[in-house]
Structure 1
Amino acid sequence: MAHPSRPADEAPAGRAVPAGRGAEAAPVEYRFGPFLLSPGRRALLQAGEPVRLGSRAMDILVALVEQAGEIVGKDALMRRVWPQAVVEEGALRVHMTALRKALGEGQSGARFITNVPMRGYCLVVPVVRLAARPETQGPALQDGAREPSPLPAPLTRVIGRGEAIAAVCAALAERRLVTLVGPGGMGKTTVALAAADRLRAQQADGVRFVDLGALGDGSLIPSALATALGVPLRTEDPLRDLLAWLADRRLLVVLDNCEHLVADAARFVETLLAGARQVQVLATSREPLRARGEWVQRLGSLPAPPPDEALNYAQSLAYPAFELFVERAAASLDGISFGDADAAAITSVCRRLDGMPLAIELVAAQVGFFGLAGLLEKLDDHLSLPTLGLRTALPRHQTLRATLEWSHQLLSAPEQRVLRRLSVFRDRFSLQAAERVAQSDEESVARAVMGLVHKSLVVADASDDGVHYRLLETTRSYARERLQADDDHADIGRRHCLYCLAAVATAAVELDTLLPRRWRDRHGRLVDDMRAALAWAFGAHGDAHLGARLVAESPALWFGLWLVKEYQGRLALALQRLPLQDSGGTLEMQLSLEFAQATVALRGGAPEAVQALERSLEIARALASPGDELRALWVRYGTRLLRGEYASALEDTDAYGLAAQRAADPQLAYIHHRMRAVCLHFLGLQEPAQQHAEQALHPSAEAVRYTRGNGYQFEHRPASLTHLARILWLRGRPDEAMRLAQEAVEAAKAVDHALSLAYALAFAACPVALWCGNAVAASAYVQELDECSREHGLVFWQSWPRVYRAAMQVQAGAPLPFDPEQAGLQAGQLDVLATLHVDLVGPTVLRRAADDLVRWCAPEVRRAQALRGLAAGELSRGQAAGMLSAAIALAASQGALAWELRSRTTALELKLCTDAARARAELAELLGRMQGGTGTADVRRARALVGQPAAR
């Protein structure tokens, strides 16, 4: 913060005056906080009165003041205080304690001296060095110091208000009336005093400060200013005497706390400025004076560290709210210190208090009693948090509650009523939303909201989406407490719930029309209101049916913000609290389906997801609701795929096709093509699978977008590309498969959809890269999948990077890091793992292959069995050769050239062919049918066997 302008004879204290040389140089004095120190006279004064201080304590103070802002070592202090004696360090502590007590530390909230462990002590308040004036020499010093100061002396350092102070000074350079407006506790007085101090040198007759807070009658304002100026009142009209005295004087008047006398203050200021042409006025108020010529300067919250950035302690200190908390906490408890481990908690406290300086100061003073964790818990009810403000402060500034009650009392009855009702909003709200929730027959909500904005109890924010309003957290907590005492508080809770219901419907519609980032910017804030509405709905006096509706109709919001785990928990609660009359109806069906979708996204095909799906499908068919039946079939199909139940998934696909025909929605046909492509691929029918996958990507399918809004979880295009990439790899087109896998990843990123991105990475990019032997690309894709799934809390998808990393370790010759059979993996994951290395074919896959349940990779499973059986001596060479021949035939029947290539290559490598020349010719012919892939590991091995040159 810039220092206030100083008279020519003032200079900052510091090393410029070496310790011990004050008596030899010109006499100097030092001003810090409310104190004046005269080392030459061995005198310390506070408000003109001498402070009793022992000789040793005085020596310590002089040493610290002369080196203000710097650490003075303990040894240096003891040499200064006891130059001819050797004393214990305890003696220094005794006199330091006496000094701190004399300065009033721990009583006024101010802090002057800090102890730096292992180093020494430091005076931490600004110090101004003055040349001693003749009138302050000797006994006259006390008399001169008794003259009232034109401005109250600051007791603490001003933090984070440099720009605001500069803005006020700039405004007063061009205008005669500036009003600093902001909520109670925002620091208006602090900023006004700092600005006035900075401007003092520019005013020929100085500055004067008048606190109107103690006045109960606006007619006393002229008398209060006259008293501050020392104007003799010679008539019965103090205003006339005041104007006569000010007629030719040039000064700045600071009128503090005008809000409760705002009309009288406005009239007085207009009269004052008209009659005293060289006077300027700086006023502070919670609402503008609305006087002629007024310039309103609004004072906002102190910036706090952003919640979504993991900043360390040093980085967080760059934010004023954080810095203020740390300094005030240190002032309240000697020796307290913070570090990186505390940064997140302090940030949370500052944000919960809206960056309001008074609130931060009051709460920080309690950190020694509650600790940071305890403070966070107490902040859930921070109006009742015991706080210790300055004893000398006005009563309304000693606690948060008193500050807010003072503001509440200044409101009209309609404004009080609307403020209480607006407290149900947890974030910003539009004027239309306010009218919907707070309206009643006898009042205009719009007029009341405007009044609350003017009085700084409601904040107005303008953006591209228009003007929105919000309450600061402290104001909201107070107003909500008052609302609970109103007879209609339950009705207000219901209105807020209905507002949220309409808001999530709008969010769902716009999910299909707005870009994801734009959608989140517009609707992301709604989630806090949803939480509040659901807390009311499922509370003791709420409406469980309305709460269940709100949960059931809001999947777009929770999935759009990737709060899937929270949504799953709220769905479970809604099903548990569902009223009896809703059992077996549309509401239970919706909740069951959404619960299944959330569970699948988190845990794959978990049993509870299957159970919920069966219930949802049962109700949908009983109600003859084809749209809901389609959604339920879709989710059950996806769940069965994850569980490796490919034939059952095809049954759901066929049922889906029939329901889609009844629904007569052309878009559903492309989704049906995609479903069939996936099922046929896993059932080992690669050629028809490819045909359906290509149909799903028909140009007309471009209309099938943002399908997560209607329950299909994944974006259509990236999901379709994902499986076409897998199919093409099996069909002997590895280069094209790699290209399409990357295209699927890019398509998911283009729509900014995390679940689709995880899907494309897990099912296409990672396995295709590993099948091609491209370890570099595979490693990058696996890392991206890990980051995506963790960032968005996709618990099930976090297991896929573990699967692929395990496979890469085995491929590199390392042992398997865990037992896949005991790792809680889905059957579909075990199937993929079996294709990445022969040692990764586990008992579950072998059993499923024997039961004809793993057709898509069955040729590779048989190849692995042949290799492992031969190596272990469990199979003869003839048996191994027969198993490889069966794998080749099966792969050929499936149109899976990739598996056929591997089995033929293995048979030649191990010399298990009865006719090597013929086998080599068949392998060469197969290589001729491959499209691309000359750089892949499988093709290079095969070419080496048939004598073809390797690709460059």
Structure 2
Amino acid sequence: GGIGKTRLAVQVANEMRDHSADGACFVSLVSIRDPKLVVPAISEALGIQESGTQPIIEQVKSALREKSFLLLLDNFEQVVQAAPCIEELLAACPNLNIMVTSRAVLHLQAEHEFHVAPLSLPELKLLPATDRLTQYASVALFVQRAQAILPTFQVTQHNARAIAEICICLDGLPLALELAAARIKLLPPQALLTRLSQKLQLLKSAKQLLPAKQQTLYNTITWSYDLLDAQEKWLFRQLSPFAGGCTLDAAETILSKREERTIDILETLASLLDKSLIQQVEQAGGEPRFMMLETIREYALDCLRVQGEMAQAQHDIAMYYLAFVEKAEPYLKGAQQVEWLALLELEVENLRAALQWLVENGEATHALRFCEAFGKFCGLRGYWTEEQRWLKTVLALPQTPESARVRALVLRRAGHLAYRLRDLVSARALQEESVKLSRELADQQNLAGALSGLAWILYRQNNAASAFPLLSECVLVARASGDKWTIANSLESLGRYLHYQGNTEAARLLIEESITLSRELADKESLARTLTTLVSIEITQGNSPRAAALARESLALAQELGTKPLIAVALDSLGDVALFQGEYEQAKLLFEERIMLAQELDDAATIAIKQLKLGDVALAQRDFAQATTYVQQSLLFFRKQSDNPNSAAALSALGDIKRAQGDLAQAMNLYREAMKLDETVKSKRNSIRRLIGLAEFAIDQDQQPYK
């Protein structure tokens, strides 16, 4: 109900008049419940006078047999048992066409089904200009109906977003939009949007020139629900807690065990589908997915609460998705990454709802398990801030001794997220707790990850010397665990550190061993990430052709996974290669694309780092003003973050600019300042770079190198 079937059918009928030489007739079945009354209703609409000497259906046949005619039968779902009569009429009248609006298909031999979708909706992230918002049918309808109630109503900059959100909230359902617009005189858009959380109650008294059943959306759905048999009603209710629809497997696994009566889930789903109370979409692999429009789902949830079935339904769904995400997690480290990422993406709303239920019901151990298994997916998809909120909430729940191992895993994950989000103080505390707990539990795999995480936090806190022993232990512990995935990641971590410190050959050995293991595991994510480190090593050693090939391979893997953070890192590598090869315009394009991705991920640190790269490009093109602007913006951010390594890099870049401009005294000062910061982080690689700059300066000045 409320999708606009009747209006659409009437419009189609009007446009088909030329194809029906003898006319068309609209037959409303809205008030009819008895299938036996359908043919009499048709007869009455056609103006046929009953003779009493033959059945009414024969009179209708006689009236239409020789005619080219269109019958429009509206609201047929409540009398679907009359479908054989429709088939009989079609067989007897060769030039008769019948259009039926119904939430249930008739299953006739010559039937052609046309699914009426909701009206088009705007996207909040890409909201068009105010004067173009009504290009979306849902907005156009809302505005049209609102102006019928309040002629002065207009879309403005102040109410445009609220109007768009109202349309989205109501799923683009015409009836719901009309009901909402009917309240515009009392409630302006923002106030109306605020009240939509109670939409069924709010809208149910709206005045409509429709039959009684459609006077409110609530009554429309109630009307459909009342027509269901007991099993259909039960399944309709049980489907409502699924936040993002469900697969057939999910419905059968969860529900077939709970209902004492014998119920065929597939058959009952098909029945609900025929009645348009659920929708079916085809997902990857051809697996059907069953959805509810949000307004219908709200009604079904109310029914579930009234029946006292909510707690059991939500518990069972949460347990199903806990098992699902735990099953998926190992596959995210191997050859089936792409397939399982897609499956998890389809279920992400259900996964969020399941975790929310576990948290709200104090299921600490289950919630920890969920977060641990869910973390890999969140990382690959870049859901860092959201995941961090979940982890903080779950770690704050009362814990039990039985949850110690999984708590250590989640602490490590929380520390990693805090590091990525630049909260180094929290990150360090979390990783230190994870290291301590993992040592107590002798959990080598998690200990390796926690040691690596802690090492990089210390490095970022300008304590590079303390990071090395932790990374060395990380590799030893990982090898002792025997887990290839853990070993590969520990080798990458130590190799990257050694590369940053200028120990390129030792770094290469570790990185190439890590790549070999990742290839054996078919772990596209780890491989793509580690390849970018090898790209940097190859550039350092002047091997640009191999660097370019490795960067392209990394990008291809990242794009296959559809992982934005990984795509961004691969673009970095391609940009570095282009810059090294003197392809400055290409490098600029790649770094600018990288910045756009970072903006999508709200990653301010990466934006600053890429601005530094753009400064290098501008310097190479001798655009000194632009280069200075880029580098100064980066330096401002790094200083606010107390990020000494990157601050040193920015100061050195400013020195390069000043030297290129001939301001050698200022260049010397900047190089000296950069070297002082390098000394605080013990960064051999960066110090070498500064010394090279100073040596070049000395040559320019015919002086001795600075010491």
What is the DSSP-based 3-state SS (H/G/I as helix, E as strand, rest coil) of the residue aligned with 1:905?
helix
**What residue number does 1:409 align with?**
226
Closer, same or farther in 2 for the Cα pair 1:821/1:558, shift >3 Å? Answer: closer
Structure 2 residue identity aligned to 1:431: L
Partners of 1:647 and 1:679 within 8 A in 2? no
In 1, the alpha carbon distance for the partners of 2:402 and 2:336 equals: 37
Instruction: Show CA shifts across 1:522-577 (max 9, x none).
Output: 431221112222232223x5634433322222012222322111111111111112
What is the DSSP-based 3-state SS (H/G/I as helix, E as strand, rest coil) of the residue aligned with 2:187?
helix
Q: Does 2:426 match 1:608?
A: yes
* Aligned match for 1:676, one of 486, 489, 494: 494
In 2, the alpha carbon distance for the partners of 1:194 and 1:327 equals: 18
**What residue number does 1:751 align with?**
558
**What residue number does 2:46 align with?**
229
Q: Compute the displacement of 1:623 (Å).
A: 1.0
Q: Does 2:407 match 1:588?
A: yes
What is the DSSP-based 3-state SS (H/G/I as helix, E as strand, rest coil) of the residue aligned with 2:73?
strand
Q: Compute the displacement of 1:268 (Å).
A: 3.5
Q: Does 2:455 match 1:645?
A: no
What is the DSSP-based 3-state SS (H/G/I as helix, E as strand, rest coil) of the residue aligned with 1:610?
helix
Q: Does 2:277 match 1:457?
A: yes
Q: Does 2:455 match 1:664?
A: no
Instruction: Show CA shifts across 1:647-686 (max 9, x none).
Output: 2221112111221221224565554443333333344544
Structure 1 residue identity aligned to 2:419: V
* Aligned match for 1:857, one of 686, 691, 704: 686
Q: Compute the displacement of 1:849 (Å).
A: 4.4
- Pairs within 5 Å for 1:548-587: 548-577=368-397, 579-581=398-400, 585-587=404-406
Per residue, is there more helix in 1 or in 2? 2
Q: Does 2:165 match 1:353?
A: no
Partners of 1:305 and 1:319 within 8 A in 2? yes
Partners of 2:17 and 2:23 within 8 A in 1? yes
Aligned-pair identity in percent equals: 23
- Pairs within 5 Å for 1:721-760: 721-725=534-538, 729=540, 733=541, 735-736=542-543, 740=547, 743-744=550-551, 747-752=554-559, 753-759=563-569
Which segment is superposed worse, 767-776 or 203-212? 767-776
Q: Compute the displacement of 1:805 (Å).
A: 5.7
Which segment is superposed worse, 554-563 or 309-318? 309-318
Closer, same or farther in 2 for the Cα pair 1:368/1:765, shift >3 Å? Answer: farther
- Give ranges in structure 2 of 5+ residues lacking alignment: 656-666
**What residue number does 2:113 align with?**
296
Q: Does 2:103 match 1:286?
A: yes
Partners of 2:279 and 2:290 within 8 A in 1? yes
Closer, same or farther in 2 for the Cα pair 1:584/1:237, shift >3 Å? Answer: same
* Aligned match for 1:497, one of 315, 318, 322: 318
Partners of 2:43 and 2:60 within 8 A in 1? no
Structure 2 residue identity aligned to 1:588: R
- Pairs within 5 Å for 1:10-49: none
**What residue number does 1:912 align with?**
703
Partners of 2:318 and 2:354 within 8 A in 1? yes
Closer, same or farther in 2 for the Cα pair 1:627/1:232, shift >3 Å? Answer: same
**What residue number does 2:255 align with?**
438
Closer, same or farther in 2 for the Cα pair 1:333/1:557, shift >3 Å? Answer: farther
Structure 1 residue identity aligned to 2:294: E
Partners of 2:651 and 2:673 within 8 A in 1? no
Q: Does 2:574 match 1:783?
A: no
Structure 2 residue identity aligned to 1:459: Q
**What residue number does 1:831 align with?**
648
Structure 1 residue identity aligned to 2:682: L
Q: Compute the displacement of 1:456 (Å).
A: 1.0
In 1, the alpha carbon distance for the partners of 2:580 and 2:650 equals: 11
Larger radius of gyration: 1
What is the DSSP-based 3-state SS (H/G/I as helix, E as strand, rest coil) of the residue aligned with 1:553?
helix
Q: Compute the displacement of 1:190 (Å).
A: 1.4
Q: Compute the displacement of 1:277 (Å).
A: 6.0
Instruction: Show CA shifts across 1:147-199 (max 9, x none).
Output: xxxxxxxxxxxxxxxxxxxxxxxxxxxxxxxxxxxxx1122211222233333
Partners of 1:209 and 1:255 within 8 A in 2? yes
What is the DSSP-based 3-state SS (H/G/I as helix, E as strand, rest coil) of the residue aligned with 2:280?
strand
Instruction: Show CA shifts across 1:112-166 (max 9, x none).
Output: xxxxxxxxxxxxxxxxxxxxxxxxxxxxxxxxxxxxxxxxxxxxxxxxxxxxxxx
**What residue number does 1:866 align with?**
none
**What residue number does 1:429 align with?**
246
Closer, same or farther in 2 for the Cα pair 1:300/1:784, shift >3 Å? Answer: closer
Q: Compute the displacement of 1:307 (Å).
A: 5.8
Structure 1 residue identity aligned to 2:215: Q
Closer, same or farther in 2 for the Cα pair 1:611/1:399, shift >3 Å? Answer: same
Partners of 1:671 and 1:716 within 8 A in 2? no
In 2, the alpha carbon distance for the partners of 1:446 and 1:211 equals: 32
Partners of 2:595 and 2:610 within 8 A in 1? yes
Closer, same or farther in 2 for the Cα pair 1:782/1:479, shift >3 Å? Answer: same
Partners of 2:645 and 2:681 within 8 A in 1? no
**What residue number does 2:533 align with?**
720
In 1, the alpha carbon distance for the partners of 2:339 and 2:136 equals: 28
- Give ranges in structure 1 of 5+ residues lacking alignment: 1-183, 864-898, 920-952
In 1, the alpha carbon distance for the partners of 2:688 and 2:12 equals: 82
Structure 2 residue identity aligned to 1:224: A
Closer, same or farther in 2 for the Cα pair 1:564/1:203, shift >3 Å? Answer: same
Instruction: Show CA shifts across 1:60-91 (max 9, x none).
Output: xxxxxxxxxxxxxxxxxxxxxxxxxxxxxxxx
Partners of 1:234 and 1:241 within 8 A in 2? no
In 1, the alpha carbon distance for the partners of 2:145 and 2:158 equals: 19
- The normalised TM-score by structure 2 is 0.85
Closer, same or farther in 2 for the Cα pair 1:512/1:368, shift >3 Å? Answer: farther
- The normalised TM-score by structure 1 is 0.64
Closer, same or farther in 2 for the Cα pair 1:328/1:520, shift >3 Å? Answer: farther
Q: Compute the displacement of 1:474 (Å).
A: 1.4
Partners of 1:187 and 1:357 within 8 A in 2? yes
Q: Compute the displacement of 1:586 (Å).
A: 1.6
Closer, same or farther in 2 for the Cα pair 1:274/1:474, shift >3 Å? Answer: same
Structure 1 residue identity aligned to 2:183: Q
Q: Compute the displacement of 1:231 (Å).
A: 2.6
CA RMSD, 1 decimal: 3.6
In 2, the alpha carbon distance for the partners of 1:912 and 1:244 equals: 110
Which segment is superposed worse, 745-754 or 844-853? 844-853
In 1, the alpha carbon distance for the partners of 2:146 and 2:231 equals: 39
**What residue number does 1:941 align with?**
none
In 2, the alpha carbon distance for the partners of 1:339 and 1:310 equals: 13
Structure 2 residue identity aligned to 1:365: A
* Aligned match for 1:546, one of 366, 373, 385: 366
Q: Compute the displacement of 1:247 (Å).
A: 6.3
Instruction: Show CA shifts across 1:410-439 (max 9, x none).
Output: 111111111111111122321111112333
In 2, the alpha carbon distance for the partners of 1:240 and 1:855 equals: 95
Instruction: Show CA shifts across 1:820-840 (max 9, x none).
Output: 674224233223324323368
Partners of 1:396 and 1:403 within 8 A in 2? yes
Closer, same or farther in 2 for the Cα pair 1:858/1:208, shift >3 Å? Answer: closer
In 1, the alpha carbon distance for the partners of 2:555 and 2:582 equals: 24
Partners of 1:253 and 1:280 within 8 A in 2? yes
In 1, the alpha carbon distance for the partners of 2:119 and 2:7 equals: 13
What is the DSSP-based 3-state SS (H/G/I as helix, E as strand, rest coil) of the residue aligned with 2:171?
coil
What is the DSSP-based 3-state SS (H/G/I as helix, E as strand, rest coil) of the residue aligned with 1:185?
coil
In 1, the alpha carbon distance for the partners of 2:22 and 2:617 equals: 81
In 1, the alpha carbon distance for the partners of 2:7 and 2:494 equals: 70
Q: Does 2:414 match 1:599?
A: no
What is the DSSP-based 3-state SS (H/G/I as helix, E as strand, rest coil) of the residue aligned with 1:457?
coil
Q: Does 2:5 match 1:188?
A: yes
Closer, same or farther in 2 for the Cα pair 1:913/1:596, shift >3 Å? Answer: closer
In 2, the alpha carbon distance for the partners of 1:523 and 1:595 equals: 21
What is the DSSP-based 3-state SS (H/G/I as helix, E as strand, rest coil) of the residue aligned with 2:238?
helix
In 2, the alpha carbon distance for the partners of 1:340 and 1:575 equals: 42
Partners of 1:311 and 1:343 within 8 A in 2? no
Q: Compute the displacement of 1:513 (Å).
A: 5.2
Instruction: Show CA shifts across 1:608-631 (max 9, x none).
Output: 011111111111111111111122
Q: Compute the displacement of 1:784 (Å).
A: 2.8
**What residue number does 1:74 align with?**
none
